């Protein structure tokens, strides 16, 4: 089984600063960590490999300093690590990010399963996982809290919902996003750290992944961050029902009205 | 202070530190309160490849020495001495096999200890033989192809949890100290049983039990080394393991110092943080001096032992006495700095004080250690 775990290096939640010009996060000089949800994604990948055999590739789109996080991934059981890094990727929204990651995954020869964390603690959109699945044209399950079986090239898993869970069967190739409940990540082992120290991290730039420069970074990002604020919660709830097409149309009308 | 660790040694410290912060510290109060053996943590230590630091690569270990093991133990002790003791006792149980066991014995017992799959324990002490170890009464009689063991061991760390016990028994009473031998007894051997867990002042996460051998029959090849060489191997075992106990004192002292300084900085009385008062400052300064001095001593002693000198007894005993007496004093002072809060079980320092006491007692009381040192001094000078 070939597994790709998408990992993002994020600023440690304690020390976040906003760049006033671009309204994006200023990552300079702030301590960086592996996105906590991605830590669970990596652990799940390593566990699946231990159970079923195969390889785990840790993949990240990020600045050069993300190499450190990828070494940490190796020390926690990833077999290989790939860093997709280029100035052209800077300022990417989730649309441009999923494009970049999809091109990278294609470049490294695809895989049976992509595992992402539920969301990044800096962006908090939770869009990259599902967006990437669309780019790769594969089924996905999000908020996975347990993988109970793998038989006949199909995963049986539990998707966490507010009031319980859904039991799903997902055939590979597939993508999943995971929640923290799924596992308890291991501490890097001594042998793991020694392996990580010597490991060769593959670095790919925009040319290596054969990406269209117009679809990358700030240039390729249709969404703009206009304002960042914590919304007030109110208890108004509205359920929209119907077929998927009907629901999407109604939702679109309501959002336009806002 | 910079102790010029190698890159590999820095990694050992990093892994052990992370394990301590992530797993040991969050669970220590509960394990102490419930007196539960730290199975999950010992498994996590194994998963982190730290179980076999002192075992050679030939048998699945890391191939490190006393110093590498000491570096990991220091971090664990910073978390909890009870948990660290449960881990360190495996090495104590393994050392007789490493020092005197046959190749077959090493091949059988060391790999599962290195991988953390099995636990070990060392059994010397009896009700009538503590400091006077030569007073043991457990016997081993050769009957055909089997040894028959009879007797009772007392206060054995990891008793009831271990799978592999290295046990000292008298094989020839007429020969006095040269009449004792070491054996490997497995938890599944017939005639072996153990008593209930002892209720202790401290290191409550550690399991301490009586071991009972009643016509316990073991195969002939379970004898470790030569018959009659028991006490020689015991002495070497203790020489090797004492720096491990000493470093528990260092880790514990450091943890107590950390709590005391943090508290003194934020506790405000008479309009100022109490760290600004000389009385408190001087206490903290003395604590810090003693912790660092102990650390430097134990590191040097461990490296000295790894260089395989002819005589490690004096150095080993000295560092054990110094570091463990230090830990007792520093933990008591830490409770004093935290004062009323320090006395409450909600704060970690009272447990540290309770845990410190055993360090001055086990693996040879500090009084016996001083005997050893005195005797060595006597031999050294003409």
CATH number of B160's domain: 2.40.110.10
Which residues, including other chains, have CB under 8 Å from residue B13's CB and lie 6 or more apart? B5, B71, B72, B74, B75
Model confidence at A234: pLDDT above 90: no
Which spans in A53-86 are helix H? Answer: 66-75
Tokens for A245, please give them.
């097409």
Q: B44 and A186 in contact by Cβ < 8 A?
A: yes
Residues B271 and B308 placed together within one structural domain of the fold: yes
> Using the beta-carbon criterion (under 8 Å), do B49 and A187 form an inter-chain contact?
no
Whether B191 is covered by a domain: the verdict is yes
Specify if A241 maps to a domain.
Answer: no
Under a CB-based contact definition with an 8 Å cutoff, are residues A41 and A178 in contact?
yes
Encode chain B (382 residues) as per-residue pLDDT tens digits.
999 999 999 999 999 999 999 999 999 999 999 999 999 999 999 999 999 999 999 999 999 999 999 999 999 999 999 999 999 999 999 999 999 999 999 999 999 999 999 999 999 999 999 999 999 999 999 999 999 999 999 999 999 999 999 999 999 999 988 999 999 999 999 999 999 999 999 999 999 999 999 999 999 999 999 999 999 999 999 999 999 999 999 999 999 999 999 999 999 999 999 999 999 999 999 999 999 999 999 999 999 999 976 779 999 999 999 999 999 999 999 999 999 999 999 999 999 999 999 999 999 999 999 999 999 999 998 7
Would A253 be classed as within a structural domain? no
Shared domain check, B370 and B292: yes
Q: Tell which residue, A112, A95, A67, A62, has the closest CA to residue A212.
A: A95
pLDDT grade for A30, boundaries at 50, 70 and 90:
confident
Chain B residues with CB under 8 Å of A189 CB are 15, 47-49
**In 3-state terms, what secondary structure has residue B272?**
strand
Residue A188 lies in a domain: yes
List, for residues B108-128, the tens digit of each pLDDT value: 999 999 999 999 999 999 999
- Same-domain status, B253 and B363: yes
In a domain, B323, yes or no: yes
Nearest-CA distance from A191 to chain B in Å?
7
| Cα angle for residues A227, A230, A231 (degrees, 5° grid) | 95
Three-class SS of residue B157? Answer: strand
Pairing type for strands A55-61 and A140-151 reads: unpaired
A256 assigned to some structural domain: no
CA distance B50 to chain A (A): 7
> Which one of B57, B89, B114 terminates a domain?
B114
pLDDT at residue A13 is higher than 80? no
Is B1 a domain residue?
A: no
Residue A188 has what pLDDT? 94
| Residues in chain B within 8 Å Cβ distance of A190 | 11-12, 15, 48-50, 62
Residues B188 and B237 placed together within one structural domain of the fold: no
The answer as to whether A258 is a domain residue is no
Of the candidates A190, A192, A193, which has its C-beta nearest B62's C-beta? Answer: A190
Residue B198 a catalytic site member: no
DSSP state letters, B165-218: EEEEEES-GGGGGGGEEEEEEETTSTTEEE-PPPP-SS-TTS-EEEEEEEEEEE
Asked, for residue B16, whether it belongs to a domain, the answer is yes
User: What is the CB neighbour count within 10 angstroms for residue A160?
Assistant: 18
- Tell me if B40 is assigned to some domain: yes
Q: Residue A188 is nearest to which of B8, B15, B23, comparing CB atoms?
A: B15
pLDDT of residue A19 exceeding 80: no
Total number of domains constituting chain A:
1
Q: Are residues B125 and B97 located together in one domain of the fold?
A: no
- Are the C-beta atoms of residues B200 and B243 closer than 8 Å to each other? no
Residue B334 and residue B251 share a domain: yes
Identify the three-state secondary structure at position A201. coil
Contacts of residue A231, Cβ cutoff 8 Å, sequence gap at least 6: none
Residue at which a domain ends, from B175, B202, B229: B229
Query: What is the extent of the structural domain holding B192?
Result: 120-229
The answer to whether the CB atoms of B22 and A197 lie below 8 A apart is no
**How many domains, chain B?**
3
Q: Which of B8, B198, B363, B376 is catalytic?
A: B363
Q: What values do phi and psi take at B197, rounded to 5?
A: -65, 135
Residue-level pLDDT at A16: 65
Do residues B235 and B315 both lie within one domain? Answer: yes
CB–CB of B11 and A186 under 8 A?
no
Q: With a cut of 70, say whether residue A15 has pLDDT above it.
A: no
Which residues does chain B have within 8 Å of residue A194's beta carbon, measured at their own beta carbons? 8, 11
The DSSP symbol for B22 reads I
* A25: containing domain: 2-223
CATH number at residue A209: 3.40.50.620
Sheet holding A140-151, edge to edge: A164-171, A154-161, A140-151, A174-178, A113-117, A2-6, A55-61, A80-84, A202-204
ipTM reported for the complex, 2 dp:
0.86
Least CB–CB distance from A193: residue in B14, B22, B62: B14
State whether B291 and B324 are in the same domain.
yes
Q: pLDDT for B216-274, tens place per residue?
A: 999 999 999 999 999 999 999 999 999 999 999 999 999 999 999 999 999 999 999 99
Mean pLDDT of chain A: 92
Whether residue B215 is found in the same domain as residue B255: no
Question: How many angstroms away from the CA of B263 is the closest CA of chain A?
Answer: 22
What is the helix (H) or strand (E) element at residue B219, kind and residue range?
Answer: strand B208-219
Q: How confident is the model at residue A23 (pLDDT cuts 50, 70, 90)?
A: low
Q: Do B171 and B235 reside in the same domain of the chain?
A: no
Residue B80 lies in a domain: yes
**Residue A28: band (very low, low, confident or very high) from pLDDT cuts 50, 70, 90:** low
For chain A, the residues whose C-beta falls within 8 A of a C-beta of chain B are 186-194, 197
Domain end: B60, B88, B114, which one?
B114
Residues B370, B239 share a domain: yes
| Backbone φ, ψ for residue B179 (5° rounding) | -110, 15
SS3 state of residue A243: coil
- B192-194 and B208-219: which strand pairing? antiparallel
Q: Which of A66-70, A237-241, B23-27 has the lowest mean pLDDT?
A: A237-241
On whether residue B179 sits in a domain, the answer given is: yes
pLDDT at position A238 is 85
Do B210 and B300 lie in one domain? The reply is no
The nearest CA of chain B is from the CA of A233 a distance in Å of: 34
Q: What is the CATH number of the domain that holds B362?
A: 1.20.140.10
Q: Could you give the percent of chain A with pLDDT greater than 70?
A: 94
């Amino acid at each position: 089984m070939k597994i790709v775990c998408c990992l993002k290096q994020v600023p440690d939640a304690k020390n976040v600063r906003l760049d006033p010009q671009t309204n994006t996060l200023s990552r300079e000089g702030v301590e960086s960590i592996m996105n906590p949800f991605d830590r669970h994604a990596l652990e799940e990948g390593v566990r699946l490999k231990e159970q079923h055999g195969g390889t785990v590739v840790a993949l990240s789109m990020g600045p050069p300093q993300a190499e450190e996080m990828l070494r940490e991934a190796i020390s926690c059981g990833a077999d290989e690590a790939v860093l997709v890094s280029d100035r052209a990727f800077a300022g990417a929204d989730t649309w441009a990010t999923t494009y970049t990651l999809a091109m990278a995954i294609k470049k490294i020869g695809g895989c049976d399963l992509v595992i992402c964390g539920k969301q990044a603690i800096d962006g908090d959109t939770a869009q990259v996982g599902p967006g990437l699945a669309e780019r790769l044209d594969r089924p996905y399950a999000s908020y996975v809290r347990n993988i109970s079986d793998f038989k006949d090239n199909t995963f049986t898993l539990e998707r966490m919902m507010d009031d319980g869970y859904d039991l799903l069967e997902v055939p590979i190739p597939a993508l999943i996003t995971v929640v923290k409940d799924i596992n308890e990540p291991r501490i890097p082992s001594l042998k793991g750290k020694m392996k990580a120290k010597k490991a060769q991290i593959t670095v790919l730039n925009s040319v290596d992944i054969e990406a269209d420069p117009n679809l990358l970074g700030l240039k390729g990002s249709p969404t703009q961050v206009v304002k960042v604020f914590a919304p007030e919660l109110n208890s108004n709830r509205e359920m929209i029902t119907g077929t998927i097409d009907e629901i999407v149309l109604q939702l679109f009308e309501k959002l336009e009205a806002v | 202070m910079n102790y010029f660790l190698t890159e590999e040694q820095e990694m050992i410290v990093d892994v052990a530190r992370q394990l301590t912060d992530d797993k040991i510290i969050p669970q220590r109060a509960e394990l102490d309160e419930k007196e539960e053996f730290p199975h999950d943590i010992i498994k996590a230590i194994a998963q982190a490849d730290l179980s076999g630091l002192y075992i050679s690569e030939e048998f699945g270990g890391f191939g490190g020495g006393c110093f590498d093991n000491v570096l990991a133990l220091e971090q664990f002790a910073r978390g909890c001495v009870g948990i660290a003791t449960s881990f360190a006792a495996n090495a104590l149980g393994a050392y007789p096999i490493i020092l005197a066991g046959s190749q077959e014995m090493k091949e059988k017992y060391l790999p599962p200890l290195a991988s953390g799959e099995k636990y070990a324990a060392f059994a010397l002490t009896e009700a009538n033989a503590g400091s006077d170890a030569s007073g043991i009464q457990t016997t081993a009689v050769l009957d055909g192809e089997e040894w028959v063991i009879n007797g009772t061991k007392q206060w054995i760390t990891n008793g009831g949890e271990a799978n592999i016990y290295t046990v000292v028994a008298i094989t020839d009473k007429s020969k006095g100290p040269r009449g004792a031998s070491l054996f490997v007894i497995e938890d599944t051997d017939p005639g072996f049983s153990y008593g209930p867990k002892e209720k202790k002042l401290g290191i409550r996460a550690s399991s301490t039990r009586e071991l009972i051998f009643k016509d316990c029959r073991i195969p002939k090849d379970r004898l470790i080394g030569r018959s009659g060489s028991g006490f020689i191997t015991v002495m070497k075992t203790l020489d090797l393991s004492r720096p491990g106990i000493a470093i528990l004192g260092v880790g514990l002292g450091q943890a107590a110092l950390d709590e005391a300084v943090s508290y003194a900085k934020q506790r405000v009385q008479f309009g100022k943080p109490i760290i600004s008062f000389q009385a408190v400052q001087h206490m903290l300064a003395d604590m810090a001096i003693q912790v660092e001095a102990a650390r430097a001593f134990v590191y040097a002693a461990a490296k000295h032992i790894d260089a395989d000198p002819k005589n490690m007894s004096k150095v080993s005993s000295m560092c054990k006495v110094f570091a463990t007496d230090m830990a007792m004093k520093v933990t008591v002072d830490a409770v004093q700095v935290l004062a009323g809060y320090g006395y409450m079980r909600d704060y970690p320092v009272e447990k540290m004080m309770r845990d410190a006491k055993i360090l001055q007692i086990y693996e040879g009381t500090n009084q016996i250690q001083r005997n050893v040192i005195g005797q060595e001094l006597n031999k050294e000078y003409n």
